[in-house]
Amino acid sequence: MIVFCKPNTFQMLLTKLRNVFAFISIVTVFLIVCVIIFWPVTGVENAVVRFPKSSGVGILQAEVADTAYKRYVGLSNRDCINDNEAMVFAFWMTLPRIIVMRNMSFGVDIIFVNSDETVSSVVTAEKPVTRSDERKKYSGWAKYVIEAPEGYADEYEINQGDDVKIFFGDS
């Protein structure tokens, strides 16, 4: 004798709710990841970076890298940057950041800047000569990372704790 059991309606409803909740959770995580990767932090292409000090003011015209793709590419595959040019890598918050010199044909000063616009550290990354040089990691805590021409930090005496003013947009 075969007995057919009708499933409990409550159990069926609970199973459907679990499935709906799982689907909504997956979609939410996907959307958050998309926002983090593709949504621009500033939404602008250019910035002006100023280093006000008693010994003078250093001013850089900078491109802004504010999406994951732009930050990945950075200054790669360029021959050089001019003495007053830079790139500002903009992130959502201050966290440990790692910079590499992938496909770079010139050296840079890497200036790590906190969310309160003070320099957390300065590192000089010389022009990579070998593939292992390109993989060398330069790290620091930052919301903004500025890549300036090599020697810029020494010329303008930029050090940990110094103030930085970053004006996003065509300032």
> Would you state the pLDDT for residue 169?
86
Cβ-in-10-Å burial (0-12, 13-18, 19+) of 146 comes to buried
User: Helix or strand or coil: residue 125?
Assistant: strand
User: Helix or strand or coil: residue 155?
Assistant: helix
- Dihedral angle at the C-alpha atoms of 167, 168, 169, 170, nearest 10 degrees? 30
For the four alpha carbons of 140, 145, 151 and 153, in that order, the dihedral sign comes to: negative
> Would you state the pLDDT for residue 50?
93
pLDDT digits (tens, 9 = 90+) for 109-150: 999 999 999 999 999 999 888 888 888 999 999 999 999 999
| The residue to which tokens 């593939």 are assigned | 131
In the predicted model, residues of the chain with pLDDT beneath 50 are none
Q: Who's near 135: CB < 8 A, 6+ residues apart?
A: 100, 102
In this structure, what token pair is assigned to residue 145?
Answer: 């990372």
> Would you state the pLDDT for residue 7?
62
> Would you state the pLDDT for residue 1?
56
> Would you state the pLDDT for residue 3?
52
